[in-house]
């Protein structure tokens, strides 16, 4: 087996791109996220800790307004999430938990809103989710139950 020179990942809302550069050849896989059994709600749940720790208050409010406008949350939910008695982390925690409870469509809309209001945090989360998906691929290569397809034979 030849040595890997470089390896990179990219995650979007629809695909997981995995590219490996071996000596003078480049192999790229563009895999739908459905192959990983990670719904958007599951991805948001994986990103919860980072969102709670890093999302600032103005961006929390902007995402809440965006989700209110798209009828993902109602005015009461938005007001309770952005209540002055809550600290920033509690606002973010309540936002993420509420959206996750509403399912994949709501989670997709929140991830899109996050991308619009905080590109830097979105990129960090995208990178971390790609690594999480890579871990799932490795588990599949080792024969874990309900594992995604094994893509190792393509390299």
Mean pLDDT for 109-116 is 94
2 vs 132, more confident: 132
CATH 3.30.310.160 for domain 40-129: no
**What token pair was written down for 122?**
């979105």
Give this prediction's pTM: 0.64
**What token pair was written down for 65?**
């307004």
Dump pLDDT digits (tens) for 87-105. Answer: 999 999 999 999 999 999 9
Is the Cβ–Cβ distance between 143 and 80 less than 8 Å?
no
Instruction: In whole angstroms, give the CA distance from residue 146 to residue 47.
Output: 22
Q: State the pLDDT confidence band at 12, using cuts at 50, 70 and 90.
A: low
Q: Indicate if the pLDDT at residue 155 is higher than 60.
A: no
User: In terms of C-beta distances under 8 Å and separation of at least 24 residues, what long-range contacts does 33-38 make, across chains too?
Assistant: 33/133, 35/148, 35/149, 36/133, 36/136, 36/137, 36/148, 37/136, 37/146, 37/148, 38/129, 38/132, 38/133, 38/136
Q: Indicate if the pLDDT at residue 146 is higher than 50.
A: no
User: In terms of C-beta distances under 8 Å and separation of at least 24 residues, what long-range contacts does 18-21 make, across chains too?
Assistant: 18/134, 18/137, 18/151, 20/155
Percent of the chain with pLDDT over 90: 45
């Amino acid at each position: 087996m030849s040595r890997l020179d470089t390896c990179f990942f990219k995650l979007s809302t629809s695909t997981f791109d995995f590219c490996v550069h071996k000596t003078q050849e480049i192999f790229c896989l563009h895999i739908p996220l459905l192959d990983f059994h990670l719904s958007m709600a599951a991805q948001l749940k994986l990103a919860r800790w980072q969102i709670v720790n890093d999302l600032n208050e103005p961006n929390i409010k902007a995402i809440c307004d965006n989700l209110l406008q798209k009828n993902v949350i109602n005015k009461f939910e938005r007001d309770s999430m952005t209540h002055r008695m809550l600290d920033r982390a509690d606002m973010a925690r309540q936002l993420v938990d509420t959206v996750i409870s509403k399912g994949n469509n709501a989670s997709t809309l929140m991830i899109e809103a996050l991308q619009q209001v905080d590109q830097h945090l979105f990129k960090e989360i995208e990178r971390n989710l790609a690594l999480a998906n890579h871990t799932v691929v490795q588990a599949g290569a080792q024969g874990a139950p309900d594992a995604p397809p094994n893509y190792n034979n393509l390299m």
